[in-house]
Structure formats: C-alpha cells, structure tokens
Structure 1
Amino acid sequence: MTGHVRTRYAPSPTGFLHVGGAWMAFFNWLFARHSKGQFIIRIEDTDRDRSTEAYEAAIIEDLRWLGIDWEEGPDAGGPYGPYRQTERSALYHEHAALLRARGAAYPCYCTREELEADREQAIAEHRPYRYVGRCRNLSEAERRQREADGRVATLRFRVPEGHPDLDDFIIQRSDGTPLYNFANVVDDHGMHMSHSLRGSEHLSNTPRQVLIYEALGWTPPRFAHFPLLLGIDRKKLSKRHGDTSVRDYARLGYLPAALVNFFALMGWYPEDGRELFTVPELIERFRIEEMGKSAAVFDIQKLNWMNGVYMQAVYRQNPDRVIDLVVASLKDEHLLNGEVSPEVRAYVGRVVAILGERLRLPGDVVTYGDFFFRDVEYDPQAVQKHLSAPGVTELLRRARAALGALPAWTLAAIDATVRGAAAQSGVAAKDVIHPLRVALTGKTVGPGLFELIEVLGKECVLARLDRAIALIESTGPSAAARG
C-alpha cells in the first residue's frame, strides 16, 4: 500500500447517480483533496443484466457536473487498471484460485433447493440462518461425484474458528463472477486504496472483508463508515424525501455549488456552526474527525434555502447564467415559446431582480411571478378580502387615471403617484396598494408593488386595471374571482 491517501467511489452503472451515491462520492473526494491524496473512480459492473454503458456515461457526466474530478478511472486510465470490474476477471480468478489452494475457500455444490430447506428449518427452529457446512469438508472423490452428477459449484470462503457470528460465505458465483466482498478486497488492494470510506450499511461487510485480506496476506485499508442518510421524518431516505437522481436536481435548476455545500453539512459538523462554504474552503476546513456518528438528515427545505443563496450570488456575478435557467423553466411551463428575443431576456432579468430572495429555484418564477408572463388568475380569497369593499372601484379608477397620466414610467414616479392617489381619496396608502396588487397580480403577496408595476409596464398595468374594474362593476367580486 502506498503511503499517501487514496480513496475511491465505485458505482454500479445500473441507473442514474442518486443523491445518496453522490453524497458518498463527494466525501471520498473531499477527504482525498483535503489530504492532498488521490481520488479514483471504479465501475462495479458485474451485474451484467442491468449494467449499461449509457448509465456509466451518465454517472461520469453527473460527477463532473458536481465538480468532482479524479486522477484514475475508466475514462482517465491509470497504473492500477482496468477500472471496470468486467475487465478484471483474470485477477478475480487468480486470487480465487489462490484462496482455494491455501484452503481458505472451497467449492460448494449445494442446490438452491437444499439451501432454501436449510433456511426454512432455521426459521422453524427460531434460530438465525447459517450455512450448515454441507460442502465444507468434502473429499476429492465426493467433489468429483457431485461434478459427475452435473452440479455446478460456487466458491465459499472458509471462515476460521473464532468468528461465531459469521458463516462460510460465497465469494464467487457458479459462472465465475465475483461477489461484492471478494471483488472489493481484490480491487481495493490492487488499486492501493489507503482508506475505505462508505455508508454504515456496509458495517456488516467489514469483518468478512478483513478475513479475506488476512487470508491473502494483505493489510486492509483503514475503514470508516458514514452515518445513515435519513429523510426529514427520520426514516430511510427515499424519493419522497428527495433521493432522486443528480440530473433531476440539475434539470430543476439546483446549482452544483449549492448541492456540494449541502452534501458537506449532511454528516459533517464544523465546530463554529458555519453553513456556507466555497469548495476551496471545504477542502481546507474538512476534518473527518468532525463527522457525526448519528444519522444525517436530508432536509430539502434547507437545500432550497442554500440554493437561493447561491442563486443570488451567481446573479450578482453572472446574471445571464440565472436568466438562462429561468428562461428554461418558463419554457417548460409553456410561458415562453420559441426563440427568446433580447428584449424578452431583458424583461426576464428584471423579473428575476425584483423577485430577489424569493427565487430559490428557477421554477419559483412561476410560483411567485407567473403574472409577469400570463393573464391574471384571481385568487377568490384575495378578491373577497381586497376587491369587495365599498368604494374600491373608485380607488382603482383614481389610481388608474393617475398612472395613465404619468409622463415618465419610473419607480419614484409610480411610488409618488400611488401614494398621491391614496391621499386624494382620503385613505391610507395601504388601502390603495392592496387592491392594486390583487388587480394586477391576482395575489395578496409578492414582490414590491411599485417595482412590479414598473416591470409590467404602463400598457399592461392600465389594461389589467381596466379588466379588474370592469369585472367588479359588471358582475361583482365573485365573478372577478372566476375571471
């Protein structure tokens, strides 16, 4: 084993990269970078029925999108390859033969029916199932007879005395492909891994792997097991908690910097309680000793807040990047179509600016600002609260006339005009502002009224006020609510 830190992430290409896997990859990468070591990608593709090249390519692409890089892997090559398990078969056969020659492994001819009967008997006797050792001490003649009978052998590891909690376990299938614990040991040793950092679900694998290391005369890497990753309800993380693919998060407009910052705080607890870190700061500050032992919680609301912070920072530095994300979201909702002109992009940019901290995801522009891009849909409760009072029509008329007479459509002029209309009517400014907001947006909350009036533009504002006034006058508030 080399003297410096080498960690790895070894995904199975049977699906897209989910956040749980990305979280594990990130911490292995972070530890390697903090330690000035090396990070390796290895593809565990022995499940030939489900593994595909397309999924492998997608996993590689999504890791790169997160900003995770590596020194060695199936795409980068390296001195200890190949980096796909399907290309390492000769190594597994070589070491399986070595274990068998040393008496540390033996062929097992038990049929599925025999093993199932053993399992059912254990259940009936209320004891844990253990392999009964039927093939553990077969003579050569007995083995030849079973082979003559057409039985095909798996390869079992012979667990030494002194390990009562472990039974002899299969390390190689009858078709010659290795099982996880065996392949993991051969690969980690052959690739000079210094540390094996993984989820606590692998705790039960560790003693088996240590026995294989010892049987082969190798020194195991240092093992560390990260806490379980749970949903906000403290149950196992699932899709309903947000355990979907990384590319789903990318499609929704989550920023990679926000995701990796969020990953870092799931299980790592810096002493000063700080929450926002750049990647260089994470590399500098990370200490594996500060990893918690209790389960880490995937809190989607915290991720959304964090993404909003990063969205605002990106917008200040590179507005076009955020505008691109928002335009894509508006197209998904069919609020924009076709080629987007420079004028429309500028309009979207102004909407993004006034939504401010409300915009945590690009799709929030639809939640909080759909009225900028389509006709108003009135909230019945908003209409009842702010457009049904006596005299509201006259207040809207007076505000409409004052706004229509404005020679310059500026924020300061709009502010002064609306407040002036309220003063002329002998009411507080809020008594005009609230009806105006509902008439123009259909909602009771949103960005600043004067700012949104400026962005909507004079023609749109006057047309919407005319529509609201006409609806209230002709059919009353209930019709406005439907209209």
Structure 2
Amino acid sequence: MSEKRVRVRFAPSPTGPLHMGGVRTALYNYLFAKKHGGDFLIRIEDTDQGRFVPGAEDYILEALKWCGIEPNEGVGYGGPHAPYRQSERKPMYRAYAEELVSKGWAYYAFDTPEELDNIRKQAELAKMPNWQYNSISRNTMKNSLTLPADDVQARIANGDAYVVRFKMPRNEEVRFHDIIRGWVVFNTNELDDKVLFKSDGMPTYHLANIVDDHTMEITHVIRGEEWLPSAPLHVMMYRAFEWEAPEFAHLPLILKPDGNGKLSKRDGDRLGFPVFPLNWKDPHTGEQSSGYRERGYFPKAFVNMLLLLGWAPSNNQEIFTMQEMIDTFTIERIGKSGSKFDPEKTKWFNQQYLRATPNLELAEMIQPLLKEKGIEVSNEYAAGVCELMKERAVFIQDLLEGPYLFSAPSTYDADAVAKKWKKGESGALMNEWSNVLDGISEFTSANIEASFKEFITAKGLGMGAVMPLFRICLTGVLTGPASSEVAALIGKEETKKRIATCISVND
C-alpha cells in the first residue's frame, strides 16, 4: 500500500494582521509539504464572526505572497476541497455535530448565557473560581442528558436556543505523539465539555477545525503551542468520529528579546521593531503598525531569520536559499522551548542578503528613491554607487547615505577642516595632486590609488597627512568609501572640479 500524500494547512483567523509567529507557522508547513512533494493549503477560519476584521484576509494572502510562501491550494488558489473559508462551509457542520450526538459523544445544552454567568458568579462566591461545564457539573445542568427526551424534542421544535457540547468522558487518559514533544498525556478530568456548535448555527473552532482537516485529507497538523491544550479534545473527537487522526507538531513560542513571555506587538512598539510582515492600519481605530516590507527588509532575509527562530540545521549554516530550506528542513530539528527574537540579528540577515544582491538589481531598487529626491542617474551609475555603499548598508535606503556620490558637497565638515586642513599648505598640495590626476589615462580606482602612493612617496609625506585632504575635497567629510573609488565613480573632470572648489572655499 502506497504512503499517503503529505497534506498540510495554514489556517489563520481574519481577526487582524498576521503576526510573524504566524508567518513562521506557514513557513514550516510550506517547507514540510515541499520537501515531501505534498500539498500546502490555506484555509480561513472565520467561524467567529464577532472578531472578523475587514481587510485581514487580504492582508494574510498578500503577506504570504511577499514572503514567497505560496500555497498550491486554498483561498485565492482554488482546489478540489473548495470552499476554503469556513463561513462558506457553514451548512455542512451541523450534520457532523448531530452525528456526534447520535453516537453519544455530544449532547444538546439549553442553558442560557445568563444562567451560565450566574453559576460562575455563585461558584466564585463559593471560592470555586475555575468552575467548568464538565463530566460532573453537566449532570445538574439543563441539557439532553438530564432532561426527558420528549422535553428535549419539544424545546428543539419550539426553536429554543441551544448549543451542542462534546461529552468528555470522565477520568480517562488521552495520549498522543507529538513529532516535536514526544508523547503528550492528559487526563479528561482536566478538560471541560467544549461547545462544538453554537446557537447562531455556526460551528466553533474545534468542530470546524476537525471536520475540515478530515475532509481536506490533512495528514500533519503543524501549529503553535498555544493549541496544545486543545489537542486532547481534538484527539478525542477523531476517536468519536472514528477517523484517523493526523500527526501533530506543536511549535514553540517566539519570545520577546528581553524578559520572558511571547513576543507581542507591544514589544515591537516598545523596542522599535516590527512584528508584522507588512504595514497594517486597523480599520476600527486607525492605528498604524509597521511591517518588515516597508521598513526595507528583503523578504528572503525575513524568511531566513524566521526559519532559524526555532529550527536548527545539523551544521552551522545560517544563510539559506528557499530550495536549501526545503532540502534540509525536518520537523524533528525544531526545538521544544521558545526562541528569543533578536532584532539585531534580523538586521544582520538583511545585510547579508543586500550584500549578495547584484549591483544592477540594487540599482533598480534605489531608482524610485532617487527619483523622490529629484536625482536622475543611469542604472550603471547607480550600480556603481551600490558597489561602494553596500558593505556599510543594512537597508536599501542606506545605499543613498553618500549624497556626495550624486552631487558635489555644498558644505565641508567644520571639525574635519579644522583638524586636517592647513591654510596655504593644504591647498597647494591638493592643487599638485590635481595636476597628477591629469596624467592618469585610465581613471580607475586601482590606477588612482597607485598614483596617489607615488605622489606622497615623492613628497616624503605619510598617507594620513594627505588622504584626509583628498577625502574632504571629494565628499566634505572624513568617513565613507575609499577616496580612490569615489573619484573613479564620479570621473576625472568632476574630481578635479571638486578639488578646485574645496581649495577656493577652505584655503
């Protein structure tokens, strides 16, 4: 018998922007599916209509596209198990809830929200704050287990509001194997009778999730550890339906950089980094949240960083292409404990990807930024700028931090001039050097540097006495790329012109 085709899903709720932890969950699912030649689908779990946020679904799909984590099935992609939005699958869930009732694994509960609130308040007064609707308390509640059958039928026929609850057995051990955590064991006495079907005709997450995973033939459920407490209920539901359960893997949390606890948007706001892949504007409050894309991060750098936030390769490799990620990824190498997010390391990843990007590609990326500044240069010239600046840059916008590469300096750093420029003497020296430049036929960085060394040797001067003067002439400051490289980029004529201007201003 052939092995089942691997099928995994990413199933976010459209309740706001996609957290980077959600992107990592999608990434691990995607890599696992690709490695095993399987399917990666996206399903939108929107059963909780009260928490639905307009624009969130589009945001999720756009964020995954930007990251290069594209499903081959699901919302926006189609497939044999459509529809992939739970709200559009609403008619199918009731039959599954009724099936569990008929099998004795679920029951109708007629208790009103007001009655339940009152019971909880009474329990608190009796110093029992953790009251649950469970295998003990259900025997005193208003449900189909305690009411006469004809009364139950009459209530349903009369249109009385009710929910369907799962009938969790008492004092049973629920044991399942988690690919990351090994064997996980719960006792059913710790679990309550969860609502599976709500009075508004919508399934809860638990019922819809199990039914959809089964009908969509999901083989592996790879999700965040916040769902671990729900896993025993899900395992019990598979048993109740007499379905084969998928394999489970619960991913560790992404932790805040300082202190303990899960990384949140507040941590990002407090420490100055994004926690979302793209910018997000809350449609209700108008609050803006920044994203990695708009901050200037490469999607591949963002994804590479997420890969290593919980998963470790067998060697010390840190930079991965998507294909390398697919080839080397295994769930077994995901750690059990949470991983601290390091914003500085994330910048380092971006820096590595920027350096590895061909200069002409970088040139095309900076052209829109140059146009905003009213600067027009050829792609070839812009590529030369990128070559000079990329070793010092972290983000694309950092490549423009040498304004002197686009126009002659209009001012000169006063401290630099005071420190290095000697009136009368420095001007004469730079004038001599300018005349030497005339004799360089091929105006390359190497030739300029060789001529400069010959010049200072002939003058009996040290590099530190003359090079800063040349740099001030070209750039107006003492820091930046090598002067010979700047001169080669801007050309002989512009170099000589800048030397003459500097002498006239400072000498």
Structure-1 residue corresponding to 2:253: 228
The structure 2 residue matched to 1:201, chosen from 198, 215, 226, is 226
Is 1:192 aligned with 2:226?
Answer: no
Q: Contact conserved, 2:7 with 2:40, CA < 8 A, in 1?
A: yes
Structure-1 residue corresponding to 2:464: 430
1:3-38 alpha-carbon deviations (Å, 9 max, x no partner): 232111112234444422221111011111222222
Structure-1 residue corresponding to 2:142: 135
Q: Contact conserved, 1:422 with 1:432, CA < 8 A, in 2?
A: yes
Q: Match of 1:135, SS?
A: coil
1:179-232 alpha-carbon deviations (Å, 9 max, x no partner): 111111011111111111111111111112112222222221111111111233
Change (3 A) 1:378 1:156: farther
Structure-1 residue corresponding to 2:94: 93
Shift of 1:245: 2.1
Change (3 A) 1:92 1:461: same
Q: Contact conserved, 1:2 with 1:192, CA < 8 A, in 2?
A: no
Query: AA paired with 1:327?
Result: Q
Identity of aligned residues (%): 35
Q: Contact conserved, 2:420 with 2:468, CA < 8 A, in 1?
A: no
Structure-1 residue corresponding to 2:303: 260
1:30-69 alpha-carbon deviations (Å, 9 max, x no partner): 1112222222221223344665785434433432343334
Structure-1 residue corresponding to 2:263: 237
Q: Match of 1:219, SS?
A: coil
Structure-1 residue corresponding to 2:282: none
Structure-1 residue corresponding to 2:333: 290
Q: Contact conserved, 2:434 with 2:499, CA < 8 A, in 1?
A: no
CA distance in 2, matches of 1:378, 1:111: 76
Change (3 A) 1:226 1:393: farther
CA distance in 2, matches of 1:422, 1:301: 41
1:98-133 alpha-carbon deviations (Å, 9 max, x no partner): 122233223333333333333344445154242343
CA distance in 1, matches of 2:505, 2:163: 79
Query: AA paired with 1:206?
Result: A
Structure-2 residue corresponding to 1:476: none
TM-score by length of 1: 0.83
Aligned residues: 460
The structure 2 residue matched to 1:169, chosen from 184, 190, 194, is 194
Q: Match of 1:33, SS?
A: helix
Instruction: Tell me whether 292-301 or 190-199 shows the greater mean CA deviation.
Output: 292-301
Q: Contact conserved, 2:431 with 2:500, CA < 8 A, in 1?
A: no
Shift of 1:268: 1.3
CA distance in 2, matches of 1:39, 1:330: 40
1:373-424 alpha-carbon deviations (Å, 9 max, x no partner): 4675879xx743x322375344542354245433244424533565566557
Query: AA paired with 1:429?
Result: M
After superposition, where does 1:277-356 map in structure 2 within 5 Å?
277-315=320-358, 319-331=359-371, 334-336=372-374, 340=376, 343-356=377-390
Q: Match of 1:224, SS?
A: strand
Structure-2 residue corresponding to 1:104: 105
After superposition, where does 1:436-451 map in structure 2 within 5 Å?
436-438=470-472, 440-451=474-485
Shift of 1:282: 2.2
Q: Match of 2:169, SS?
A: coil
CA distance in 1, matches of 2:214, 2:95: 14
Query: AA paired with 2:161?
Result: V
The structure 2 residue matched to 1:156, chosen from 155, 158, 165, is 165
Query: AA paired with 1:42?
Result: R
Q: Contact conserved, 1:395 with 1:422, CA < 8 A, in 2?
A: no
After superposition, where does 1:266-281 map in structure 2 within 5 Å?
266-281=309-324
Change (3 A) 1:196 1:387: same
Query: AA paired with 2:147?
Result: S
Q: Contact conserved, 1:105 with 1:157, CA < 8 A, in 2?
A: yes
Shift of 1:429: 1.4
Q: Match of 2:190, SS?
A: coil
Query: AA paired with 1:92?
Result: Y
Is 1:372 aligned with 2:405?
Answer: yes
Instruction: Tell me whether 302-311 or 458-467 shows the greater mean CA deviation.
Output: 458-467
Structure-1 residue corresponding to 2:42: 41
Query: AA paired with 1:397?
Result: G
Query: AA paired with 1:46?
Result: T
CA distance in 2, matches of 1:21, 1:425: 64
Stretches of structure 2 that go unaligned for 5 or more consecutive residues are 172-187, 280-290
Q: Match of 1:215, SS?
A: helix
After superposition, where does 1:206-217 map in structure 2 within 5 Å?
206-217=231-242
CA distance in 1, matches of 2:89, 2:197: 14
Shift of 1:78: 2.7
CA distance in 2, matches of 1:84, 1:457: 60
The Cα RMSD (Å) is 3.3
Change (3 A) 1:18 1:437: farther
The structure 1 residue matched to 2:394, chosen from 360, 372, 389, is 360
Q: Match of 2:74, SS?
A: coil
Q: Contact conserved, 2:474 with 2:486, CA < 8 A, in 1?
A: no
Instruction: Tell me whether 457-466 or 157-166 shows the greater mean CA deviation.
Output: 457-466
Q: Contact conserved, 2:63 with 2:277, CA < 8 A, in 1?
A: no
Structure-1 residue corresponding to 2:422: 392
CA distance in 1, matches of 2:331, 2:14: 28
After superposition, where does 1:56-135 map in structure 2 within 5 Å?
56-124=57-125, 125=127, 127-131=129-133, 132-133=137-138, 134-135=141-142
Query: AA paired with 1:335?
Result: K
Q: Match of 2:25, SS?
A: helix
1:264-312 alpha-carbon deviations (Å, 9 max, x no partner): 2121111222212222222222222111112123333323322333333
Change (3 A) 1:233 1:467: farther
TM-score by length of 2: 0.79
Q: Match of 1:178, SS?
A: coil
CA distance in 1, matches of 2:194, 2:48: 19
